[in-house]
């Protein structure tokens, strides 16, 4: 019973931290706000995370990484063809972003950028996040017969363009950057099919 309760509190603290850092970043998020919104005492926050905010940020990045991985998994399943899957994925991403009032962007980026060169453990967690997302793109492309080296490079660009387009969509409060990204990723993937099927236009 105790353990079950403790697990619940710990998870609530991590989820709350992840959401706060997604919306306002690492620096603006304080332990006091985390404890209040997670309905946990400051004492229990320190009990579970003796390393304080930095340790919590690593857990929040991991939580956000798993959440976005699940999003990508579901989004990619919408279409068998990887090029069509990119268009479907960016469309869902744009819709979700709009529905959050343009607030819930990438759960990792802001915290990763704020900690560049200052918190290696957070940077490491962010690098693992990106790599786990790239792995999902590689798998999707491999199932469609893409060579391993081609898939590895495309995975970088798919994730990096999703990141950049999502950021631009947030700043301009518009779905356009993500819509364009989806179409361009489809063109790029099609142009790497070894000269086979190509879209009619770009």
Residues that bind its own copies (CB under 8 A): 23-28, 101-103, 105, 109-110, 112-114, 116-118, 123, 126-127, 130, 150, 153-154, 156-157, 159-165, 167-168, 170-172, 176-177, 180-181, 183-184, 187-188, 191-192, 198, 202
Considering the complex, what minimum distance in angstroms separates the CB of residue 102 from its own copies? 7
Residue 110: CB atoms within 10 A of its CB come to: 20
Within 10 Å of residue 71's Cβ, how many Cβ atoms? 17
Q: Which is nearer to its own copies, 59 or 166 (CB)?
A: 166
Rounded to the nearest whole angstrom, what is the least distance from the CB of residue 106 to its own copies in the complex?
A: 9
Asked whether the beta carbons of 186 and 83 are under 8 A apart, the reply is yes
Residue 97, Cβ density class (10 Å: 0-12 exposed, 13-18 middle, ≥19 buried) = buried
Shorter beta-carbon distance to its own copies: residue 39 or 118: 118
- Least Cβ distance, residue 9 to its own copies (angstroms): 27
Calculate the alpha carbon distances from 202 to 14, 43, 137, 144 in Å: 43, 57, 21, 21
Measured CA to CA, the distance from residue 148 to residue 73 in angstroms comes to 19
Q: Which is nearer to its own copies, 145 or 202 (CB)?
A: 202
Contacts of 46 (CB under 8 A, 6+ apart): 52
Indicate the residue among 48 and 71 with the shorter CB distance to its own copies: 71
Owner of token pair 């279409």: 79
User: Shortest gap between Cβ of 12 and its own copies (angstroms)?
Assistant: 23
Smallest distance from the beta carbon of 178 to its own copies, in angstroms? 9
Q: Looking at beta carbons only, is 23 or 47 nearer to its own copies?
A: 23
User: What is d(CA 9, CA 193) in angstroms, rounded to the nearest whole number?
Assistant: 49
């Amino acid at each position: 019973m105790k353990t079950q309760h403790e697990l619940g509190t710990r998870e609530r603290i991590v989820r709350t931290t992840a959401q706060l850092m997604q919306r306002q970043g690492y620096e603006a998020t304080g332990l006091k706000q985390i404890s209040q919104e997670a309905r946990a005492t400051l004492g229990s926050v320190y009990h579970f995370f003796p390393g304080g905010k930095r340790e919590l940020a690593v857990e929040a990045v991991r939580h956000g990484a798993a959440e976005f991985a699940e999003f990508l998994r579901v989004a990619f399943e919408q279409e068998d063809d990887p090029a069509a899957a990119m268009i479907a994925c960016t469309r869902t991403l744009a819709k979700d972003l709009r529905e959050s009032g343009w607030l819930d962007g990438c759960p990792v980026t802001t915290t990763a950028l704020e900690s560049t060169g200052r918190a290696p453990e957070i940077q490491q967690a962010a690098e693992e996040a990106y790599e786990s997302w790239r792995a999902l793109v590689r798998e999707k492309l491999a199932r469609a017969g893409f060579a391993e080296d081609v898939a590895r490079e495309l995975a970088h660009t798919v994730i990096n363009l999703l990141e950049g387009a999502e950021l631009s969509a947030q700043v301009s409060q518009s779905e356009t950057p993500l819509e364009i990204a989806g179409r361009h990723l489809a063109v790029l993937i099609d142009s790497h099919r070894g000269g086979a099927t190509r879209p009619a236009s770009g």
